[in-house]
Structure 1
Amino acid sequence: MRKSEKPSFGLLDGLKVVHSSSVVAGPIAAELMAENGADVIWIESKRALDTNRGKGGMGAESERRNMRNISFDIPTEEGKKILRSLLEDADIFIESSKGGQYKRWGLTDEVLWSWNPKLVIAHFSGYGQSGDPEYVSRGCYDPVCQAFSCLMHLNGFADREALPAREIPSDYLSGLTGFGMCLAGVMKARETGIGESFDLAQYELAIRYQNQRPMDWLVRGVPSPRVGNHNDVTAGWGAYTCKDGNAVYLMFLGPSVMEKGLRLFGWEFGSELFPKTQNFAPLATEGGKMLEEAVTKYCAEHAAVEVEEELCALGVPCSRIMDYEMAAEHPHYIARETFTEWEAVDGRKLKGVNTMPKVTNHPQQIWRGCPTPGMDTDDILLDHGFDAEEIKALHEQGILRN
């Protein structure tokens, strides 16, 4: 597909993004740009396919929409020439490799800026581009990152081994952060004419988004134990099994919630048992113990849908613990078109999560499914000044995926 064939739409129409990242963190940043109208060129290694194409292929179908794909070996001399042609007029370049890989290939930020001074460069890696050399050179996947970033230590039950949180949250946190930082970099580059480079160490982003937990230890010396599916301080906060065997998650938290929710059990917020000096009922107090027992008993005597409806009517945040089958049939999911359908490049009908958030004036689109490896190689090279004979020669030399 030639650039001229790409539809024009969205908040990022006119932005050019080149990414040679794989699996999730880097590609999700590029994917969000593609869904918002950017022209995203995905460089896929000629030597090894993106791991996200495995496991049934739905990972790639979900997170590589709206992209054009070119497949070649970057570190070869010919590959570097192709990369230069792609980056000379690009706004953003995203890569995800072990720390220092591009430097070892002779492709430092300074080299890339000599090609394009305004280029915004995002380096995604598990441990960063600098630091302890033993760690910088390590490979990393999301669960390993969770282990190193202390995130895994927070998840699970106190009497069992720590658990990785699904579904790959540190990858998505990194991708979302990279998405925002790249666009901020473009804004500044357009103002100053000077590009930027970001060192996105996945473990740092995973620990950045742990709320007060790191400071609880660093400032107060207070550890954060694993609490399972119930809050360890507050009554009426957690998962509860209902009469029909299904479960809900609910939270008695906040003055309005306490005031309205306690009425279900005939209690008053502001009484001696539930003083207004606290916006929740501590488990260690008599009122907290009573509330926890009452909520547990109430849920055991009612079906999950009844619990959800009655508590929500009172203003207590509560939801059944949904699975994908339930979500696909839920009226709110349907009303907001949370799931949508699109066509794969081979004509198959696919259904998955829609673009989001909803945009009023310049909405996103899904105009193309995940491209096959090297699907757009020749067209992309034609767009960047290569002629048919040059492209043929690159194929014959084995530089390009045939």
Structure 2
Amino acid sequence: MKRAEIPQFGPLQGVRVICAGLATAGPYAATMMSDFGAEVINIESAVVPDQSRAAGGSAFKQDHRNQRALALHIPSPQGREVFYKLIKEADIFIENSKGGQWKRWGITDETMWEVNPKLVIVHVTGYGLSGDPNYVERPSWDAIGQAFGTLVSVNGTEDVPMATNPYMCDATTALYASWAALAAYIRAQKTGIGDSIDCTQFESVLRGQSGWPLKYFSEGFQPARTGGENAVGAAFKAFKCQDGFVFICFGGPGIMKVGLPFFGFEWGSELFPRAVPWVLQGTEGARVLEAKINEWCAAKTVEEAEKELNEAGIPVSPVMTYAMAEKHPHYIARETFTEWETVDGEKIKGVNVVPKLAKEPGKVWRGAPKYGMDNEDILAELGYSSEEILALYNDKVLAKE
């Protein structure tokens, strides 16, 4: 696909992004930009494709749509030459790798800024570019980021800590990487000076834990692993109905005021004192409240429980499966799922562009490209002749499916 064929839409139209990385965290940050109109070139190694293409490639199909593909052996002299030509025209460069990988190839922030002083550079790694040398160059995956970032320590059961599924560390890291990249891009447009962003998996999931780390430092608080239970408040969990589960969040003065009478209890009684805006775990109040909710839900279908609890003003949701979500009227009304065509013309369904913009909405305009699919068009735009491109294939600097 040629650059001229890329549709112009969304708030990021005209922004040029180069992404080089495997799996999810870095590439997903770039995909969020391409969903809103940025021109994204995704670079894979000419030695081996991105592993997320394997096993059906569902992650690759979801997280690499709206992009062009280049398979390039960057460490080679010819590969570095192509890379710097790409960087010269780019606004944002995103890479995810082990710390120090690009420096070993002879590519640093400084060498990129020599070519393009306005370039925003985003390094997505497990542990960061600085810190304890024993950690900087370690490989990482989603669950490793969760484990080192303390998230695993607060999830699971008393006996077994657990990571959350699927890939929430990568998604969180991608969100931090993308907003930081765009913040630096706005600044670069005003000053002409780019920036370098050091975005780690472990710090992203740590920051996403709200006030829990702060509570540890101020009170020595280390949450117990309570499985499906909330560590502090009772009735913040899934309850079994006749045909599935509903999730109830029972807390806050407003909920206590309406929720306790709904289940036959009084707020302000000895079991449920008004001084506490939720029902504390481990109390007699917690025991009797959850016993009552369990009994009540067991006599209801999910639909009945959701309707009655919602009418009472108690926060509730069915525990949705993908099959339930696909048929749910709210999902359908918001077009939360959408269909698009792969580059082979196959219809696939996945999650639509999120969030929704009123005036400059995003859209899905292309399925994830095949390995090296756009090599020729991209290099021709950089000024390479057909003969020069063929020579790069012969030298294994380029590859394609």
TM-score (norm 2): 0.96
Separation in structure 1 between the aligned mates of residue 386 and residue 275 of structure 2, nearest angstrom: 76
Separation in structure 1 between the aligned mates of residue 132 and residue 213 of structure 2, nearest angstrom: 21
Structure 1 window deviating more from structure 2 (190-199 vs 257-266): it is 257-266
Say yes or no: does 1:141 pair with 2:141: yes
CA contact (8 A) 2:21 2:97 kept: yes
Q: Which residue of 1 aligns with 2:328?
A: 330
CA contact (8 A) 1:69 1:373 kept: yes
The one of 317, 337, 340 equivalent to 2:338 is 340
Q: Secondary structure at the match of 2:307?
A: helix
AA in 2 matched with 1:259: K
CA contact (8 A) 2:29 2:177 kept: yes
Q: Which residue of 2 aligns with 1:375?
A: 373
AA in 1 matched with 2:380: L
Q: Which residue of 2 aligns with 1:290?
A: 288
Q: Which residue of 2 aligns with 1:390?
A: 388
CA contact (8 A) 1:52 1:59 kept: yes
Percentage of pairs with the same residue: 44
Change (3 A) 1:161 1:43: same
Deviations 1:241-278 (A, max 9, x none): 1233x221101111221222223223343445433322
CA contact (8 A) 1:20 1:44 kept: yes
AA in 2 matched with 1:82: V
AA in 1 matched with 2:91: D
Separation in structure 2 between the aligned mates of residue 78 and residue 249 of structure 1, nearest angstrom: 56
CA contact (8 A) 1:283 1:292 kept: no
Cα distance, 1:172 vs. partner?
Answer: 0.7
Separation in structure 1 between the aligned mates of residue 168 and residue 232 of structure 2, nearest angstrom: 25
Separation in structure 2 between the aligned mates of residue 287 and residue 143 of structure 1, nearest angstrom: 36
Q: Which residue of 2 aligns with 1:218?
A: 217
Separation in structure 1 between the aligned mates of residue 261 and residue 216 of structure 2, nearest angstrom: 38
Q: Which sections of structure 2, spanning at least 5 residues, go unmatched?
A: none
Cα distance, 1:320 vs. partner?
Answer: 1.6
Deviations 1:21-56 (A, max 9, x none): 110000111000000000000111111111111121
Q: Which residue of 2 aligns with 1:239?
A: 238
Q: Secondary structure at the match of 2:21?
A: coil
AA in 1 matched with 2:188: A
Say yes or no: does 1:117 pair with 2:117: yes
Cα distance, 1:202 vs. partner?
Answer: 1.1
Separation in structure 2 between the aligned mates of residue 252 and residue 221 of structure 1, nearest angstrom: 26
AA in 2 matched with 1:37: G
Cα distance, 1:104 vs. partner?
Answer: 1.1
CA contact (8 A) 1:378 1:391 kept: yes
Alignment of 1:262-301 (within 5 A): 262-301=260-299
Separation in structure 1 between the aligned mates of residue 17 and residue 256 of structure 2, nearest angstrom: 49
Change (3 A) 1:89 1:276: same
Separation in structure 1 between the aligned mates of residue 283 and residue 127 of structure 2, nearest angstrom: 44
Separation in structure 1 between the aligned mates of residue 87 and residue 281 of structure 2, nearest angstrom: 58
Q: Which residue of 2 aligns with 1:304?
A: 302
Q: Secondary structure at the match of 2:338?
A: strand
Q: Which residue of 2 aligns with 1:161?
A: 160
Say yes or no: does 1:202 pair with 2:217: no
Separation in structure 2 between the aligned mates of residue 288 and residue 374 of structure 1, nearest angstrom: 58
Separation in structure 1 between the aligned mates of residue 265 and residue 219 of structure 2, nearest angstrom: 35
Separation in structure 1 between the aligned mates of residue 188 and residue 281 of structure 2, nearest angstrom: 53
Cα distance, 1:107 vs. partner?
Answer: 0.5
Alignment of 1:12-27 (within 5 A): 12-27=12-27
Separation in structure 2 between the aligned mates of residue 86 and residue 242 of structure 1, nearest angstrom: 56
Separation in structure 2 between the aligned mates of residue 285 and residue 26 of structure 1, nearest angstrom: 45
Q: Secondary structure at the match of 2:124?
A: strand
CA contact (8 A) 2:99 2:129 kept: yes
AA in 1 matched with 2:201: Q
Separation in structure 1 between the aligned mates of residue 173 and residue 283 of structure 2, nearest angstrom: 40
Separation in structure 2 between the aligned mates of residue 94 and residue 209 of structure 1, nearest angstrom: 21
Structure 1 window deviating more from structure 2 (376-385 vs 278-287): it is 278-287
Q: Secondary structure at the match of 1:17?
A: strand
Separation in structure 2 between the aligned mates of residue 89 and residue 142 of structure 1, nearest angstrom: 31
CA contact (8 A) 2:119 2:195 kept: yes
Aligned length: 400
Separation in structure 2 between the aligned mates of residue 284 and residue 144 of structure 1, nearest angstrom: 32
Q: Which residue of 1 aligns with 2:177?
A: 178
Q: Which residue of 2 aligns with 1:248?
A: 246
Separation in structure 2 between the aligned mates of residue 98 and residue 249 of structure 1, nearest angstrom: 39
Structure 1 window deviating more from structure 2 (231-240 vs 130-139): it is 231-240
Say yes or no: does 1:83 pair with 2:102: no
Q: Which residue of 2 aligns with 1:73?
A: 73
AA in 1 matched with 2:338: T
Cα distance, 1:284 vs. partner?
Answer: 4.2
Structure 1 window deviating more from structure 2 (260-269 vs 247-256): it is 260-269
Separation in structure 1 between the aligned mates of residue 33 and residue 281 of structure 2, nearest angstrom: 46
AA in 2 matched with 1:18: I
CA contact (8 A) 2:146 2:201 kept: no
Cα distance, 1:219 vs. partner?
Answer: 2.6
CA contact (8 A) 2:73 2:396 kept: no
Separation in structure 2 between the aligned mates of residue 265 and residue 138 of structure 1, nearest angstrom: 52
Separation in structure 2 between the aligned mates of residue 151 and residue 288 of structure 1, nearest angstrom: 26
Q: Which sections of structure 1, spanning at least 5 residues, go unmatched?
A: none
CA contact (8 A) 1:17 1:91 kept: yes
AA in 2 matched with 1:20: A
Cα distance, 1:227 vs. partner?
Answer: 1.2
AA in 1 matched with 2:216: W
Separation in structure 1 between the aligned mates of residue 200 and residue 234 of structure 2, nearest angstrom: 37
CA contact (8 A) 2:223 2:231 kept: no
Cα distance, 1:382 vs. partner?
Answer: 1.1
CA contact (8 A) 1:281 1:288 kept: yes
